[in-house]
Amino acid sequence: MRATSPAKRCRALARIIGACCLGFASLGILFSGSYAISVYPHYSYDPSAPYFLFAYSVLLGLSVAAYAALVYCGIQLVRARTASWKVLGMVAVAEVATIVGSGLLWNVPAVAMSVARASGIGSVGLMPQLVTLFILWGPALAWWSDRRLRRLPVQRRSKGHCPQCGYDLRGDLARGCPECNWNRAGDTPTA
């Protein structure tokens, strides 16, 4: 049995996550569209929630933007272009900020009821997407952190720092590190 290379496994993982992104984005667009069709024509002004339509439109716009970004990421990942991990991470941060931000607006008395009602409807597809994609972001974050940790010693060494602990050796790597005893023959680690 042949072992697959890490690059092939990474591309396979990217394709799976990309397909899931496309699926979740499609479902989110369907949910948002079906609710928009039911909200806009049947809306009647409610004095207890005067900013409902504005809050709903903003949340719907943010949701659709998140879904559009997920479609882009999904297509890129299905094509095994792993550079879209960064965009996927930005979408995750934007989704969390949207949910937290709309929750914080509930504390503003003038708009509290409007935002509370709108966030229940406007982000209906966003919350399941956020929870479900956390499962998918785990492998992506693990892959990114593994790559980052492998690059870290090389980056430290190129800056003249100790590759093990990051201590500034002022470019003199040959003498070793007095902090963690990296590359020092015969020395014992200090406490």
Q: Domain limits of the chain?
A: 6-153, 159-191
Sign of CA dihedral 173, 146, 127, 12: positive
Q: What is the pLDDT along the chain (191 residues), one digit of tens a residue?
A: 455 666 677 777 778 878 888 888 888 788 878 878 888 777 777 777 788 888 888 888 888 888 888 888 888 888 877 677 777 777 777 777 777 777 777 777 778 777 777 776 555 545 555 555 665 666 666 666 667 777 777 878 888 888 888 888 887 778 888 888 887 775 555 54
Q: Are 29 and 92 in contact (CB under 8 A)?
A: no
Position 190, amino acid: T
Q: State CA 145 to chain mean position distance.
A: 13
Q: Are 17 and 147 in contact (CB under 8 A)?
A: no
